[in-house]
């Protein structure tokens, strides 16, 4: 399974990359706004900075919601760096745009996916990634991980090449449930990635090992 970090914060991206386990980055307009990055030029510079940190896929989302606008924006984003994956919302014009990008060899991430039907449309259009939003489904009392598992199963059955990128991951439990469901990628906050390392028995065991070492070695 690949790990992406879901942030536009450069420090967090650097910290996750330094761990040696990071395979890519996903951003969205809200995450860019959170970092206070305003204006097209600054946003594009920011994407390039992210690409310079990480040796892996970096999702950059289009703002346009019409086909022509998405094509124009997506082509400009893809031209910024070979790591860029154009993130496109799962709406009718988005599916048409994904089909166009696929034919042009531009990689895509179909975002804002909440159902298996949407995931089917993304795969048929040739999306590189499909992003089911686990946490937001859980927020409305649905089962986000179950949607991930269902998508994984029917993609395998029909041999779709689209990779299942579990998004809107909120915690370590989400990550591990998506691992069990067979997701290809999980995009997570830094806290959830680091949280996977936490175990009280590791802390207690390490403390005891060091104490015993000191007893003999001073």
Bridge partners of residue 58, in order along the sequence: 25, 84
Q: How many residues bind ligand E4P (CB under 6 A)?
A: 11
In sequence order, which ranges of the chain are alpha helices (DSSP H)?
Answer: 10-18, 29-34, 40-53, 67-80, 92-104, 116-125, 134-139, 144-158, 172-181, 190-195, 200-217
User: Cα separations (Å) of 83 from 25, 41, 73, 107, 176?
Assistant: 10, 18, 16, 9, 26
Q: Which of 57, 107, 168, 177 binds ligand E4P (CB under 6 A)?
A: 168
Nearer to ligand E4P, 61 or 155 (CB): 61
- What is the number of other CB atoms lying within 10 angstroms of the CB of residue 208? 10
What is the nearest approach in angstroms of ligand E4P to the Cβ of residue 155? 18
Residues 123-142 that bind ligand E4P (CB under 6 A): 131, 133, 135-136
What is the nearest approach in angstroms of ligand E4P to the Cβ of residue 180? 19
User: Cα separations (Å) of 204 from 72, 128, 200?
Assistant: 56, 43, 6
Question: Is 87 designated active site?
Answer: yes
6 is a site residue for ligand E4P (CB under 6 A): yes
Per the residue annotation, which of 34, 45, 87, 194 is the catalytic one?
87
57 is a site residue for ligand E4P (CB under 6 A): no
Structure tokens at 149: 């598992």
Residues 61-90 that bind ligand E4P (CB under 6 A): none
43 is a site residue for ligand E4P (CB under 6 A): no
Q: Give the catalytic positions in this structure.
A: 87
**Site residues, ligand E4P (CB under 6 A):** 6, 26, 28, 111, 131, 133, 135-136, 167-168, 187
């Amino acid at each position: 399974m690949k790990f992406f970090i879901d942030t536009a914060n450069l420090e967090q991206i650097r910290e996750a990359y330094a761990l040696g386990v990071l395979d890519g980055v996903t951003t969205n307009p809200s995450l860019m706004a959170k970092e206070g990055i305003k204006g097209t030029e600054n946003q594009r510079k920011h994407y390039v900075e992210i690409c310079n940190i990480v040796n892996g896929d970096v999702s950059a989302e289009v703002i346009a919601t019409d086909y022509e606008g998405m094509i124009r924006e997506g082509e400009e984003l893809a031209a910024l760096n070979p790591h860029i994956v154009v993130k496109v919302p799962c709406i009718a014009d988005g599916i048409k745009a994904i089909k166009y990008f696929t034919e042009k060899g531009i990689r895509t991430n179909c975002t804002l996916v909440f159902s298996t039907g949407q995931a089917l449309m993304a795969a048929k259009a040739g999306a590189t990634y499909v992003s089911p939003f686990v946490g937001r489904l859980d927020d409305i009392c649905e089962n986000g991980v179950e949607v991930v598992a269902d998508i994984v199963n029917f993609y395998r059955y029909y041999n779709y090449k689209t990779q299942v990128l579990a998004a809107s991951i909120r915690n370590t439990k989400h990550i591990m449930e998506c691992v069990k469901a067979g997701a290809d990628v999980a995009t997570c906050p830094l806290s959830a990635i680091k949280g996977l390392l936490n175990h009280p028995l590791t802390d207690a065991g390490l403390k005891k090992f060091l104490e015993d070492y000191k007893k003999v070695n001073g």
